[in-house]
Amino acid sequence: MATQHGYFLIADITGYTQYLSASELDHAQQTLTALLNLLIQHTKPPLVISRLAGDAVISYALRDGFLEPQVFVEVIEDTYVSFRRLLELMVRNTTCPCNACRNIGSLDLKFFVHYGEFAVQKLDAHDELVGSDVNMLHRLTKNHVTEATGLKAYTLYTQAAFDQLGLTNELVQFASLEESYEHLPPVRIFVQDMHPIWNSKRDGLQARIAPENELYRLEIEIAAPREAVWAYFVQPEHFNVLLGGDRTAIVQRKGGRVAAGSIYQCFHGDSYITNTVVGWHPFEDFVVQFLVPTPLAGATCQVELRLEATERGTHLAEIVGKATGPLVARLAADAGMKARRDHIRELVANFKTHIEADLAARTSAVPLATISSAEIGAAARFALAEGAASRPDGV
């Protein structure tokens, strides 16, 4: 087995075994199966599922094919928000009085991330990750984070993952802790609280351009996962292909991240156009607003980039909104944007070609793992049976 370098991620569902009785295991299994399905659906390339381990999904990614640090953090945050939204939907829709159904809202999710050496051993239908670094991450699932911080839903990064990703406390507010295990040196970890992420995004409104305000839209299919296309949005040297400038800079990041309020400066010679982000919804869409450069100043325009996952990759729609401002300036701006439609269409096509060529040049070929419904059901049954057997009353 060849040794490789990369990242491993464990997404671990917690909180369901302490309230179960034997008669409620069927209902609990339905819940856990649905949640495991969600985690599997959110495990996208370059992450590859290794296997299910009861209540956890284990995945990995090779070093050279990994996402940008901000995008990886957004993948985890997006997964957590989707997990909590599904829990809320289950809570609202259930009328069953049993403990397993009444206590769905007490479930939660933790993530564990490490970087190191590993080998992939083919075992039945899944990839088994082996190596001392893999073993260490599994040991870190038993830790003192909740005891030390009170956090029940969190993402734990090891020092190795933290450094390799280039994360900083500007990007995310991390708590720094240390864990110790027998026969191992102390392990430095960095922990992100996930509850504030849910609280900030649960009622978030989309800043999309309404159909009646569209001037026109351009659409294209990109042979790349949605998360990979999004990663090109946060890298100015790549996003410049879509803007068609001499170069692009991103300024006014929020906590080290591109977010609402950040600015894409598209340079043309010594001048630049300021594109202010007014809507930022990772992996779905973002909207920028700018002053339209016409002789009649005062008109602003919004452009939305909307992503949708497809069987072949990602559907990208660039939606140009009608200008706002004084009437004459608004009419001039709309006319100017319509006149640039063919040029913008060419830039969108160039962006597609650029992404596909760049990914092909730097991404190692990794087979996609598939998890059957039978495997998911078996993992849920195993997790619940193991949890029930460990209860003090033997149930």
Over range 189-205, report the average pLDDT: 85
Cβ proximity of 356 and 349 under 8 Å: no
Look at residue 391 in the predicted model and tell me its pLDDT.
47
Look at residue 214 in the predicted model and tell me its pLDDT.
96
pLDDT for residue 394 is more than 50: no
pLDDT for residue 22 is more than 60: no
What are the pLDDT digits (tens) for 122-164?
Answer: 776 677 888 889 999 999 999 999 999 999 999 999 999 999 8
Distance, CA of 381 to CA of 33 (rounded, Å): 9
Look at residue 178 in the predicted model and tell me its pLDDT.
94
Burial 77-90 (b: 16+ CB within 10 A, else e): bbbbbebbebbeeb
| Cβ neighbour number for residue 343 with a 10 Å cutoff | 10
Look at residue 187 in the predicted model and tell me its pLDDT.
92
- The reply to whether omega before 46 is within 30° of 0 (cis) is yes
Percent of the chain at pLDDT exceeding 70 = 90
Domains of the chain, with CATH numbers?
Answer: 4-202+370-389 (3.30.70.1230), 211-362 (3.30.530.20)
Output 247-251 pairs: Cβ under 8 A, ≥24 positions apart: none
Cβ proximity of 13 and 54 under 8 Å: no
What are the pLDDT digits (tens) for 78-99?
Answer: 999 999 999 998 888 877 887 7
Collapsed DSSP state (helix, strand, coil) of residue 352: helix
Confidence of residue 395 (pLDDT cuts 50, 70, 90): very low
pLDDT for residue 12 is more than 90: yes
pLDDT for residue 188 is more than 50: yes
- Do strands 154-158 and 187-193 pair parallel, antiparallel, or not at all (unpaired)? antiparallel
Helical segments of the chain, H only: 25-41, 69-93, 99-102, 132-140, 145-149, 159-165, 195-201, 226-233, 236-243, 327-339, 341-362, 373-389
Over range 192-199, report the average pLDDT: 92
CA–CA distances in Å: residue 363 to residues 62, 67, 228, 252, 387? 9, 11, 11, 30, 40
What are the pLDDT digits (tens) for 358-378?
Answer: 988 875 555 556 677 787 778
- Per the prediction, the chain carries an average pLDDT of 87
**Which span out of 20-34, 111-125, 200-214, 254-268 was modeled with the highest average pLDDT?**
254-268
* Length reported for the chain: 395
Collapsed DSSP state (helix, strand, coil) of residue 346: helix
Cβ proximity of 1 and 120 under 8 Å: yes
pLDDT for residue 17 is more than 70: no
Collapsed DSSP state (helix, strand, coil) of residue 181: coil
Who has greater pLDDT, 316 or 44?
316
Distance, CA of 220 to CA of 274 (rounded, Å): 25
Distance, CA of 260 to CA of 87 (rounded, Å): 27
Cβ proximity of 289 and 180 under 8 Å: no
Distance, CA of 127 to CA of 340 (rounded, Å): 50
Over range 194-223, report the average pLDDT: 88
